[in-house]
């Protein structure tokens, strides 16, 4: 059975986007963080996105600027198979992308039962909340940044049930970011 993880950046006060939906505050350009990100992106697997995060990623990773700034990450992001969940999108433009319009939990349940490498959700708070409530997420990988935004969207906004997790491991980066892995109890 495939494993489904969430990888997200959050602010110290718990937001994954600021009040206007911007996530640029989470982008770090120091060598240690770039190496960590590159190692994560060089693996296999499938990426899952909600529409807003997909549009943001699709607008950047296939570009020459992305290839210059983070070539290993860009190559991985473009190569990996992707799924975008959207009721309104007609056809995804980013290579290797499949569109799923309904029954998100059912689709992910079926994907988890298929053989193959793991799956990762990046951003996509609404999708994270829905799949958390459905009990389909195996691990949460959270990078907490030393910044307070004062408002925005929380990663678990809208969940209906308490989520009890256990800490698997953590790592402190020189840029002040703390990366922590949590698993379901």
Distance CA 44, CA 48 (A): 13
Would the pLDDT of 83 be above 90? yes
74-101 mean pLDDT: 95
Instruction: Give the pLDDT confidence of 117-175 residue by residue, as tens digits.
Output: 999 998 888 899 999 999 999 999 999 999 999 999 998 999 998 999 999 999 999 99
- Model confidence at 49, in pLDDT bands (50, 70, 90)? very high
Phi-psi sector, 138: left (phi>0), alpha (psi -120 to 50), beta: alpha
Write the CATH number of the domain with boundaries 4-184. 3.40.430.10
6-33 mean pLDDT: 88
Domain ranges of the chain: 4-184
* Range of weakest confidence among 17-21, 39-43, 172-176: 39-43
Q: Residue 93 has what pLDDT?
A: 92
111-116 mean pLDDT: 94
Mark 133-145 as b/e (b = at least 16 C-beta within 10 Å).
beebbbbbbbbbb
- Model confidence at 69, in pLDDT bands (50, 70, 90)? confident
């Amino acid at each position: 059975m495939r494993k489904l993880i969430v990888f997200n950046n959050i602010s110290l006060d718990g937001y994954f986007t600021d009040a206007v939906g911007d996530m640029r505050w989470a982008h770090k350009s120091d060598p240690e963080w770039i190496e960590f990100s590159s190692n994560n992106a060089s693996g296999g697997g499938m990426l899952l996105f909600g529409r807003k995060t997909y549009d943001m990623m699709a607008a950047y990773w296939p570009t020459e600027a992305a290839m210059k700034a983070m070539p290993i990450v860009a190559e991985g992001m473009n190569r990996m198979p992707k799924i975008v969940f959207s009721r309104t999108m007609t056809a995804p433009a980013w290579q290797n992308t499949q569109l799923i319009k309904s029954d998100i939990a059912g689709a992910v349940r079926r994907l988890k039962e298929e053989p193959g490498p793991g799956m990762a959700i990046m951003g996509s708070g609404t999708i994270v909340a829905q799949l958390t409530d459905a009990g389909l997420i195996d691990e949460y990988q959270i990078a907490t940044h030393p910044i307070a935004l004062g408002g925005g969207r929380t990663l678990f906004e809208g969940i209906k049930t308490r989520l009890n997790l256990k800490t698997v491991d953590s790592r402190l980066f020189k840029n002040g970011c703390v990366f922590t892995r949590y698993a379901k109890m």
